[in-house]
Amino acid sequence: MKNLIFILTALLLLGCRDSNKADDGFHAVLPPETQTGANTFGVTINGKVYVPRDPTGVSVGTTAKGMIFWRSPDNQHIYDELEIKDGASSVGFQMIIHLQNLFQNGQGEYILKKSNFHNGIDSIPDNHIYFKIWDNNISNYAYYGSIENQGLINVTRYDFANRIFSGVFSGKFVRYDNPNDFITISDGRFDINWNTLPNHPFP
């Protein structure tokens, strides 16, 4: 009887250890919606909260930062992009928020268009969002992109002088390889200072 109890206890402990390993013991929470340049981001997708984490081994992109603010390379301010990734969890996450003419239009609502799942100069010349999350059913990443006129980014502060860019976003997103698979996001938020962001840690 004692041996049976010992074996059951050991199995229970091993199960807990494996569970902790699966999510690295990290449980993200949504940051508050702020407009102070706090260098925060958060979104809930399929009931799970995602926040930026600096890569520590999982490759979800070419850059080793949890969040990066990109500007069009010719300094014409044609587009701006916010790249978010969780590279420290056992499986990664990556999102690209692409905004066209942010410098010219500033604060306000930006309607999302159909994503082409590309960023930078390969992006469509319009506002869109796409992301990839881990899908246990295929043991691989699944890609989702914004749908024409079914989402928006509300830029609540765009302060070029102080380098602050804040907003919230929501919308309906469709899977790249399955037009019948949708995800709805209602609580996305970000608040960055693009001067301090490059040196901000995302543990």
| pTM, full prediction | 0.85
What is the arithmetic mean of pLDDT over 12-21? 33
DSSP the chain: -HHHHHHHHHHHHHHHHHHHHHHTT----PPP---S---EEEEEETTEEE--B--SS--SSSS--SEEEEE-TTSS-SEEEEEEEE-SSSS-EEEEEEEESHHHH-SEEEE-----S--GGGS-SS-EEEEEEEETTTTEEEEEEEEEEEEEEEEEEEETTTTEEEEEEEEEEEETTEEEEEEEEEEEEEEEETTTGGG----
pLDDT for 57 equals 58
Domain boundaries, the chain: 35-199
Q: Over the stretch 151-170, which tens digit does the pLDDT of each residue have?
A: 999 999 999 999 999 999 99
What is the predicted pLDDT for the residue at 29? 95
Question: How high is the pLDDT of residue 62?
Answer: 53
Give pLDDT, residue 63.
Answer: 60
Given pLDDT bands bounded at 50, 70 and 90, which one contains residue 179? very high
Neighbours of 203 (CB within 10 A): 9
Ramachandran class of 175: left when φ > 0, alpha when ψ lies in -120 to 50, beta otherwise: beta
Quick: pLDDT tens for 80-134.
999 999 989 888 899 999 999 999 999 999 999 999 999 999 999 999 999 999 9
Q: 56 falls in which pLDDT band (50, 70, 90)?
A: confident
